[in-house]
Amino acid sequence: MALRESLRKEGKSNILDIRAHTKSGEIIIVEVQLNLKRGFRERIAFLNSKAFAGQMNIGEDYCMLKRTVTVVITEFIMIKENEDCHNRFKWYNIEDGTLLTPAQEINFLELPKLPQEDDGSKLWRWLRFFKSGREDEMEELAKDSEGMQRVMATLREMSADEYERRCAEQAMISEMDRRAELAYSRDEGRAEGHAEGHAEGLMEGQFEIARKMKEKNYSIDAISDITGLSEEEIDRV
């Protein structure tokens, strides 16, 4: 499943996919954006500048600052002034094109502008890979690319984890509903008993799901996130 499809199904409009450091210390930020929002250009410029300035502490030399590169992959047209799918921005003199400093760079890769025909470049293949919503096409594109193959493996792992998490959540809800219904039946006719029984049923259901998740070696953080139980409560089940 393509990354953009995963994001859309989750109702997300953007995520920070990568913030990495190269061997030379350069900062690389990669973000996928599905929907255009007001102030988006300013937001990207701010995040790039913040990452660049955040390298330095008081008293340090400016020479220690490493180049910061932001890559934004969009599913909408960001730069309407041209038809290029790749727009690259640096600090230039607008009169003669003199480069002031290579310290900061922002790249926009716009999927809607991607040509239908392969131009033979690695960039085209990568953008087609991200744009594709078909697993068979992604596999074909990744056939001769070790990098794409690693991305495919990661996407499959992410999808499997998401499926398992959803199954656990559904099991928790079903168990909680069952126990709550039993509690309601036992205390039928007593309003106070209804509330207490419902709460008791919910808590018992959470503990039961926590026990099952521990048996499957889920992390404490994942169990707490799904059940709402504290670390101490999870340790006791």
pLDDT digits (tens, 9 = 90+) for 21-35: 999 999 999 988 888
Which pLDDT does position 9 carry in this prediction? 47
CA distance 3 to 9: 10
Which pLDDT does position 12 carry in this prediction? 47
In the block, residue with structure tokens 């727009």 = 87
The string of DSSP codes covering 166-180 is HHHHHHHHHHHHHHH
CA distance 127 to 180: 50
CA atoms in the 13 A half-sphere facing the CB of 49: 8
Which pLDDT does position 184 carry in this prediction? 62
Which pLDDT does position 61 carry in this prediction? 86
User: Does the global pTM surpass 0.75?
Assistant: no
Q: What is the arrangement of strands in the sheet containing 14-21, beginning at the earlier edge strand?
A: 14-21, 27-33, 68-74, 99-110, 86-92
Quick: pLDDT tens for 48-88.
999 999 898 867 888 889 999 999 999 899 999 999 999 99
Hey, what long-range contacts does 168-171 have (CB within 8 A, 24 or more apart)? Answer: 168/209, 168/212, 168/213, 168/218, 168/226, 169/226, 171/209, 171/212
Which pLDDT does position 38 carry in this prediction? 84
Give the H/E segment covering residue 33. Answer: strand 27-33
Helical segments of 62-144, H only: 122-131, 135-142
Reported residue count of the chain is 237
Q: Which residues of the chain have pLDDT under 70?
A: 1-17, 58, 158-205
Assess contact for 51 and 105: CB atoms under 8 A. no
Q: Work out whether strand 86-92 and strand 99-110 pair parallel, antiparallel, or are unpaired.
A: antiparallel
In the block, residue with structure tokens 């790039």 = 48
Strand-pair partners of 110: 74
| Domain map (residue ranges) of the chain | 3-144, 159-236
